[in-house]
Amino acid sequence: MKKILLFLSMAAVVLTFTACNSNDNNGVQDIEIPGVTLDGDVDCCSAEEALQVYKFLQTVTIIPELSIKDIDDKYNVFAYRSADFHKGYNEIFFVATKKKNGNYVKDFDITSITPLMHMSAMSMYHSTPVSAGVETFDDKPTAVKRGWISFIMSTSGKDTWALSYTARVLKSEASINDVEQVVNPLPDGQDWVKSFKVGNETFFISLVNPTEYKTGTNAVKAYISKKSAKITEPYQLASEKFTVEILPTMPDMGNHSSPDNAAFAKQDDGSYLGTLNLTMTGLWRIHLTVKDANGNIVAGGDDLDSGFSSLYLDVTI
């Protein structure tokens, strides 16, 4: 019965879409999207694509100061995020629009995303881990690009972050240069990015979206980035292939642990996937043991007084 109902509701969706697009042939559509004129421009989204983009954009917040108006008087680029920037992994989204019709341009790219922290007391600058570029993703609309930045420090006192990037829309280009951004600290019990050293090199492991963790089994994702030789340049994904064993414990509850975890293993796209089993709510300290491609322990894996690795991330669920 459930299957039949599902089939019927899908049929209803198909009918609705067909009805909406009954005028597709002459380039005029009935779908109404605020601010978007569907004039059949080939550089831009179809009615369905534009609606998908529009709906996605309702779930994120625009970052006005990181948006670019009037590229060659023809295009706009808008930047979005899900929440205010915080220490650790943050996603950033981009769309490009044509000024003449407000519709989303499909052929655009964002390059050179460069976060830079100015630590004025020490008169020094440094960057932080970033995605290799921006990409369309999952089942999300093709005219939305996503990138990420993992801030290794929050803004504090005279230590400030600024962001730069370059946008290309069709054949036009423009840049955002050193626009200040506030990066909030994380609450107590949350620590989602940590550094570790292997020889002379410094790496950073960033947990992806730990706010989505729940009790029970979690498929978890992380990135490992390498500090650039020139530390003002964004830290790119490490080419090394590590395996990171994870052991969650509850420091507030006698350090009891939780079984059935699986180590972070490197995937073809450069990310690391693992399994984290959290048996109850509260603060979990995720102890890490980093192994190189030959299985040698290269970071963490030492014993604190507690008996667990001194390299750890904290997640409170």
Output helix, strand, coil percentages for the chain, rounded to the nearest 5: 15, 45, 40
Which residue among 153, 170, 179, 273 contacts Cu ion (CB under 5 A)?
153
Of 158 and 256, the one with the shorter C-beta distance to Cu ion is 158
For the window 62-101, what string marks contact with Cu ion as x by the rule CB under 5 A?
----------------------------------------
Size of interface with Cu ion, in residues (CB under 5 A):
3
> Bridge-partner residues for 3, per DSSP?
none
Span of 106-114, 116-124, 191-199, 234-242 interacting with Cu ion by CB under 5 A: 116-124
What length is written for the chain? 317
CB of 85 to Cu ion, least distance (A): 14
Of 31 and 119, the one with the shorter C-beta distance to Cu ion is 119
Report the run of H or E that residue 12 belongs to, with start and end. Answer: helix 2-20
Report the run of H or E that residue 257 belongs to, with start and end. Answer: strand 256-257
CA pair distance 141, 53, nearest whole angstrom: 6
Degrees, nearest 5: CA angle 150-152-156? 120
CB of 127 to Cu ion, least distance (A): 10
| 162 binds Cu ion per the rule CB under 5 A | no
CA pair distance 299, 200, nearest whole angstrom: 12
CA atoms lying within 13 Å on the CB side of residue 160 = 9
CA pair distance 110, 108, nearest whole angstrom: 7
CB of 154 to Cu ion, least distance (A): 9
Of 23 and 156, the one with the shorter C-beta distance to Cu ion is 156
| 117 binds Cu ion per the rule CB under 5 A | yes
Of 98 and 227, the one with the shorter C-beta distance to Cu ion is 227
> Bridge-partner residues for 203, per DSSP?
196, 226
| 113 binds Cu ion per the rule CB under 5 A | no
The residue ranges that bind Cu ion (CB under 5 A) are 117, 119, 153
